Amino acid sequence: MPAQTATIQQHEYPNGLVLVAEAMPGVQSASFTLLIPAGAAYEVAEGLQVGGGAATMACEWLMRGAGDRDSRALLNDLDDLGVSHSESAQTLHTSFAAATLGANLIPALEIFADVVLRPRFEDEEVEPIRSLCLQNLRSLEDDPGSKVIYELRRRHFPEPWGRPSPGSAEDVARIAPKSLRAFHRAAYRPNGAILGVAGAIDWSRLRDAVGELFGRWEPRPEPRLVETPAGPKLDHIARETQQIQIAMAAPAATVAGPDYYRARAAVAILGGYSSARLFTEVREKRGLCYSVYASYEGQRNRGAMLSYAGTSTERAQETLDVMLAEFARLADGGVDLEELDTMRAGLKSSLIMAQESSMSRSNALASDWYFLGRVRPLDEISAELDALTPESVSGYAKTLLKPGELTILTLGPTPLDVKLPA
């Protein structure tokens, strides 16, 4: 890989907040990703039990006025600073991501410090938020491709690690403002929060400014989550759609675990790019569908391979059969060197190209820190990829795709016949 050693620096503040930042040469913008362990999973923390959708509603409420600014002033000031921003609750985290010109980074962080620490939480905002969240849930019902992935994750990961952040209409309809305030008090905490910053930055100014802005954020005890089994492993959701959605998941290595790179390699070779096996066998050779892929999802204590295809009713059975046959072929026959080299070239190129975008880097910094407590340098990742052999990846593939561990969900007019190899 070309020597482009960016400077990565980090600092942990006394309240536990971690700042991890990278100065990127030749970039005018600066971006940040603030990850707070306040995702939908924490809605069911012990003593909290606030209902599905609370994390999303709380996140929306935060943006409707904070510190000296009401809802309108807050969004206007972000516009004036040219800040592109998105805030959302996911399963594990609520994230606040923003990108702007380097000079406006610290003023943008000032606004977000108000959002996280000093939300106005005005009661009259709750009913509009409720209506918005209920409508989002209805729109999700009209979007079969997204719906099936949320429902797959819910069935595959042990509860609460697959909780869909949009929640449920039943819960969203009844969540009270005081529950949202309680959720914010318990879940929004600096211990466990990570701020990744990348782009045109001045490290020492940034470190001091973040200390000023977030230093008085009070640590809180980590909420306790109780894990319970999910399921069912095989399921169908009936819907009168044009296409049947097929979604599958299998357990895979964690990001911090010794098998991480082998897992990423196996999943990519299965369905990560256009000459990967699923695309070649399902789409190119047989013309069975437009969209088919496999991807990796990491959490701290578990990882997963997720795979998806959408196709017409009359082709869905064959599509599923071919996908399962490809899973079996990967587990039984392993991978060859050519496939491994292709996978390496793709992953390495993506990593280098990510160096051109402050947004993707700030996100990678925060995510690496979450999983590993450090940021992996590019040459370390490169060396790990180079160390993979067809034998090591094939060995891992055998453990990845055990038929008994698959979760399979279909959505559409008719269920399919799932023929798992013995």
Partner 1 sequence: MRFHHTTLDNGLEVIAELNDDAHSIAAGFFVKAGSRDETPELAGVSHFLEHMTFKGTARRDALAVNKDFDRVGAKHNAQTSEEDTFYHFTCLPEYLPRAFDVLADILRPTLREDDFETEKKVIIEEIRMYMDNPMSVAYEAAKAAHFGGHPLGNSILGTVDSITAMKAEDMRAYFASRYSPANIVLGFAGKGDWGQLVELASNHCRAWAGDRPTREARPVRGRRAFEAILREEDLQQTIVGVSDGPPLESEDRYAAHLLATILGDHTSSHLYWALVDPGYADGAEISYQDYNQAGGFYTFLSCEPDDVDDNLGRIAEVCRDAMAKGVTEEELAQAKNKVLARSVLRSERPMGRLASLGFHWVYRRAYLPIEQELEAFSRVSVDQVRRLLREWPLWPMTVVSVGPTTEIQPPK
Q: Interaction with partner 1 in 178-237: which residues (CB under 8 A)? A: none
Name the segment binding partner 1 (CB under 8 A); options: 41-49, 185-193, 276-284, 398-406.
Answer: 276-284
Neighbours of 340 (CB within 10 A): 21
Name the segment binding partner 1 (CB under 8 A); options: 40-48, 173-181, 259-267, 275-283.
Answer: 275-283
Q: How far is the CB of 183 from partner 1 (least distance, A)?
A: 20
In terms of CB distance, is 104 or 407 closer to partner 1?
104
Site for partner 1 in 110-139 (CB under 8 A): 127-132, 135-136, 138-139
Q: Which two tokens stand for residue 69?
A: 């600014």
Q: Is 275 in the site for partner 1 (CB under 8 A)?
A: yes
Site for partner 1 in 318-357 (CB under 8 A): 341-342, 345-350, 352-353, 355-357
Q: How far is the CB of 403 from partner 1 (least distance, A)?
A: 27
In terms of CB distance, is 299 or 312 closer to partner 1?
312
What are the DSSP calls for 228-285, one per residue? B----SEEEEE---SEEEEEEEEEE--SSSTTHHHHHHHHHHHHSSTTSHHIIIIIII
Q: How far is the CB of 287 from partner 1 (least distance, A)?
A: 4
Q: Is 239 in the site for partner 1 (CB under 8 A)?
A: yes
Q: Rounded to an integer, what is the distance from CA 410 to the centroid of its chain?
A: 22
Phi, psi of 420 (to 5 degrees): -85, 135
In terms of CB distance, is 130 or 154 closer to partner 1?
130
Quote the DSSP letter at residue 374. S
Site for partner 1 in 382-411 (CB under 8 A): none
Quote the CA–CA distance of 240 and 145 in Å, as a whole number. Answer: 13
List the one residue from 11, 70, 75, 321 that touches partner 1 (CB under 8 A): 75
In terms of CB distance, is 82 or 373 closer to partner 1?
82
Q: How far is the CB of 245 from partner 1 (least distance, A)?
A: 9
Strands 65-66 and 303-312: unpaired
In terms of CB distance, is 9 or 136 closer to partner 1?
136
List the one residue from 18, 23, 83, 116 that touches partner 1 (CB under 8 A): 83
Strands 94-101 and 243-252: unpaired
Quote the DSSP letter at residue 265. H
Q: How far is the CB of 189 from partner 1 (least distance, A)?
A: 27
Beta carbons of 166 and 56 less than 8 angstroms apart: yes
Q: Is 277 in the site for partner 1 (CB under 8 A)?
A: no
Phi, psi of 14 (to 5 degrees): -55, -30
In terms of CB distance, is 128 or 231 closer to partner 1?
128
Name the segment binding partner 1 (CB under 8 A); options: 153-161, 205-213, 310-318, 366-374.
Answer: 310-318
Q: Is 299 in the site for partner 1 (CB under 8 A)?
A: no
In terms of CB distance, is 332 or 356 closer to partner 1?
356
Beta bridge partners of 119: 66
List the one residue from 315, 393, 396, 409 that touches partner 1 (CB under 8 A): 315
Q: How far is the CB of 353 from partner 1 (least distance, A)?
A: 5
What's the per-residue H, E or C state across 4-17? CCCEEEEEECCCCC
Q: Is 377 in the site for partner 1 (CB under 8 A)?
A: no
Q: How many CA atoms lie within 13 A of 345 on its CB side?
A: 8
What are the angstrom distances between the C-alpha of 84 and each of 21, 56, 191, 296? Answer: 19, 19, 27, 27
Identify the burial level of 221 via C-beta atoms within 10 angstroms of its C-beta, where 0-12 means exposed, 13-18 middle and 19 or more buried: exposed
Q: Is 46 in the site for partner 1 (CB under 8 A)?
A: no
Beta carbons of 16 and 191 less than 8 angstroms apart: yes
Q: How many CA atoms lie within 13 A of 87 on its CB side?
A: 19
- Rg of the chain's alpha carbons, rounded to an integer? 22
